[in-house]
C-alpha cells in the first residue's frame, strides 16, 4: 500500500538539509522520500517487503541499502525502527527459504526467472548466487542494533540464517568439489549465465569463498570476487560481537576461522603488482594466477572498501587501487562532457553510474573533490531530481532505469555525510572562537 505522507522525522531531516544547503534540498527531498513512499510495503506478519523500484521483486542487497539512510532516524522514531526491523525479518525468512537466491517474490507466485536451470521455487524471482546478497542483511541487522540499541531482531531464525550463511561460505571455499550450486539461463547474453554447465570457470582453493555473480547480477569472470570477499570479512567480524552468536561456541569458532581464511586468501591471492600503480586489489581472481583488473559501479566494489569497513581510506593498497580504478586503466572508467566516473558492463558502454559517483564522494578524503562530485550528480539527473542506474556523460538526459531506489538512497547517504562533515566543522569553529587566548 502506497504511503502518501512521510513521517515527521524524515521531514525534519529534509528541513535540516534545506537550512544547510538550499540548492541540494529539493534533490534530497525527492530521493530521501522515494524509498519510503514508493518501495516499502508493511505486511501483516510484521515484515516489510521492499521492491527495487521498477522491478516488483525484493533483492536482499538492494533492500538493505535502500533503508540504510533511515537508520539515523530509527532510535527516536518507533515507526521507522519497526519498518527497518520488518525488512530484516523478511530478509531472514528469504535466506532460510534459499540462501543461494538473490531476489524473491512477495509470495510464492512463480514470477521471475522460473525457466532458469537451477533449483528454482515459486517464491524465488532469481537465483543468481552472489556473496554480497548474504553480507547486506547481516550488515543491516548489525547497524540497526548499533543505531537503536534494539536486539529483538536477533531471533532464533536470525541465528539459523547466520548458520546457513556460514555453512554456505565454507562450502563455497571448495566450489570445485563440494558445491552443488549450478546456474544456467537460456540466453545469448553470456553475463546472464555461468559457463561449464552452470558451474563457472575453474578455481583453486585460496581461503576465499566463491561467487557466481557480481552485485551487478552479471556473471563473474573469475570466481573469487575480491570486494565481496572483503565485505564478507567485515560482516563476519560483526557477527563475533552479537550476543546470540556468542551462545554458540562451535558457530563462533567457524566464523573466526572463516574470517581468517578469507582475509589470508585476499592477502595472498587478491593483490596484483601493477607496473604503474604498484600493489592493487584485483577485482576478481581464480587462484591460478589469472586476474580481472577493473572495478564495477555496483557495491561492494573496490572503490567502496573503506565505506564497507574493510580498510581505512589512507590504506596504501587501497589508495593505489583507487588511483587505478579512477583512471582509464580501468576499462569501465569513462569520461564525457558533463562527468567522468565508473560504469559497468551491465549497462551501455561509456555510461556512468550515480552509485559510483556517490561512493567516490563518500570515500574521498578531499572536501573539494566531494563537492565537485555533488555538483556532477545535481547536473546529470536528466531534469528529474532523482538518481538513475546510469547515464550518458555527454548527454545526461539519456539514462537507464528512471526508478532505481538504491541510487537514490546512496545519493542521500552522500549528502548526509557532507551535512555531518560541515556541521562538525561549524561546531569546531564556534568552539575555537569562544576560547580565551592564552596570556603569559
Domain parsing of the chain, residue ranges: 20-421
Q: Other CB atoms closer than 10 Å to residue 327's CB: what's the count?
A: 11
> By three-state DSSP, how is residue 224 classified?
strand
Angle, nearest 10°, between helix axes 22-38 and 405-433?
Answer: 140
The pLDDT value recorded for residue 430 is 54
CATH of 20-421, one of 3.30.70.1450, 3.90.550.10, 1.10.3720.10, 1.50.10.10: 1.50.10.10
Q: Which residues contact 318 (CB under 8 A, 6 or more apart)?
A: 281, 305, 306, 311, 312
Q: Which three cell numbers stand for residue 180?
A: 552443488
The pLDDT value recorded for residue 402 is 87
Asked if residue 403 lies in contact with residue 54, where contact means CB atoms within 8 angstroms, the answer is yes
The pLDDT value recorded for residue 435 is 52
What are the 10-residue block averages of pLDDT along the chain, 440 residues in total? 74 94 94 94 95 92 97 95 98 98 97 98 98 98 98 98 98 98 96 97 98 98 98 98 98 98 98 98 98 98 98 98 98 98 96 98 97 98 96 97 93 97 67 46
Distances (CA, A) of 320 to 39, 206, 266: 38, 23, 16
Closest C-alpha among 329, 331, 328, 307 to residue 318: 307
* Residues 204-238: tens digit of each pLDDT: 999 999 999 999 999 999 999 999 999 999 999 99
The pLDDT value recorded for residue 277 is 98
Asked if residue 354 lies in contact with residue 340, where contact means CB atoms within 8 angstroms, the answer is no
How many residues does the structure list for the chain? Answer: 440
CA distance linking residue 163 with residue 243, whole number of Å: 14
The pLDDT value recorded for residue 438 is 36
Stated pTM of the model = 0.95
The pLDDT value recorded for residue 3 is 52
Angle, nearest 10°, between helix axes 354-363 and 405-433?
Answer: 20
Asked if residue 244 lies in contact with residue 251, where contact means CB atoms within 8 angstroms, the answer is no
Q: Residue 284: which region, alpha, beta or left (left: phi > 0; alpha: psi -120 to 50)?
A: beta
The pLDDT value recorded for residue 54 is 84
Amino acid at each position: 500500500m502506497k504511503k502518501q505522507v512521510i513521517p515527521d522525522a524524515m521531514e525534519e531531516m529534509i528541513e535540516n538539509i534545506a537550512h544547510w544547503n538550499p540548492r541540494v534540498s529539493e534533490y534530497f527531498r525527492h530521493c530521501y522520500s522515494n524509498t519510503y513512499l514508493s518501495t516499502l510495503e508493511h505486511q501483516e506478519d510484521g515484515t516489510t517487503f521492499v521492491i527495487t523500484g521498477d522491478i516488483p521483486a525484493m533483492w536482499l542487497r538492494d533492500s538493505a541499502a535502500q533503508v540504510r539512510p533511515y537508520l539515523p532516524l530509527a532510535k527516536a522514531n518507533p515507526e521507522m525502527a519497526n519498518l527497518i526491523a520488518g525488512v530484516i525479518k523478511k530478509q531472514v525468512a528469504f535466506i532460510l527459504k534459499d540462501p543461494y537466491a538473490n531476489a524473491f517474490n512477495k509470495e510464492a507466485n512463480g514470477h521471475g526467472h522460473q525457466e532458469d536451470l537451477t533449483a528454482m521455487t515459486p517464491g524465488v524471482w532469481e537465483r543468481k548466487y552472489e556473496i554480497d546478497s548474504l553480507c547486506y542483511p547481516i550488515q543491516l541487522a548489525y547497524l540497526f542494533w548499533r543505531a537503536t540499541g534494539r536486539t529483538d531482531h536477533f531471533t532464533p531464525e536470525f541465528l539459523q540464517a547466520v548458520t546457513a550463511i556460514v555453512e554456505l561460505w565454507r562450502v563455497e571455499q571448495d566450489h570445485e568439489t563440494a558445491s552443488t550450486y549450478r546456474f544456467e539461463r537460456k540466453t545469448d547474453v553470456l553475463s546472464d549465465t555461468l559457463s561449464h554447465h552452470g558451474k563457472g570457470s575453474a578455481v583453486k582453493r585460496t581461503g576465499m569463498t566463491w561467487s557466481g555473480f557480481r552485485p551487478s547480477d552479471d556473471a563473474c569472470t573469475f570466481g573469487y570476487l575480491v570486494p565481496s570477499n572483503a565485505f564478507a570479512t567485515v560482516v563476519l567480524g560483526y557477527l563475533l560481537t552479537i550476543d546470540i552468536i556468542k551462545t554458540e561456541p562451535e558457530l563462533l569458532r567457524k566464523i573466526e576461522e572463516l574470517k581468517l581464511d578469507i582475509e589470508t586468501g585476499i592477502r595472498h591471492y587478491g593483490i596484483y603488482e601493477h607496473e604503474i600503480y604498484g600493489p592493487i586489489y584485483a577485482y576478481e581472481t581464480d587462484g591460478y594466477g589469472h586476474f580481472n583488473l577493473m572495478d564495477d559501479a555496483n557495491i561492494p566494489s573496490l572503490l567502496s572498501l573503506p565505506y564497507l569497513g574493510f580498510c581505512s581510506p589512507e590504506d596504501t593498497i587501497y589508495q593505489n587501487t583507487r588511483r587505478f580504478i579512477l583512471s582509464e586503466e580501468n576499462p569501465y572508467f569513462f569520461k564525457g562532457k558533463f562527468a567522468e566516473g565508473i560504469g559497468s558492463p551491465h549497462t551501455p558502454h561509456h555510461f556512468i553510474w550515480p552509485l559510483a559517483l556517490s561512493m567516490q564522494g563518500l570515500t574521498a578524503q578531499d572536501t573539494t573533490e566531494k563537492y565537485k562530485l555533488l555538483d556532477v550528480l545535481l547536473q546529470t539527473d536528466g531534469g528529474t531530481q532523482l538518481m538513475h542506474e546510469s547515464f550518458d556523460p555527454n548527454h545526461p538526459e539519456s539514462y537507464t532505469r528512471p526508478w532505481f531506489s538504491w541510487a537514490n538512497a546512496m545519493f542521500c547517504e552522500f549528502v548526509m555525510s557532507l551535512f555531518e562533515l560541515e556541521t562538525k566543522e561549524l561546531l569546531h569553529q564556534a568552539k575555537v572562537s569562544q576560547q580565551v587566548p592564552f596570556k603569559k
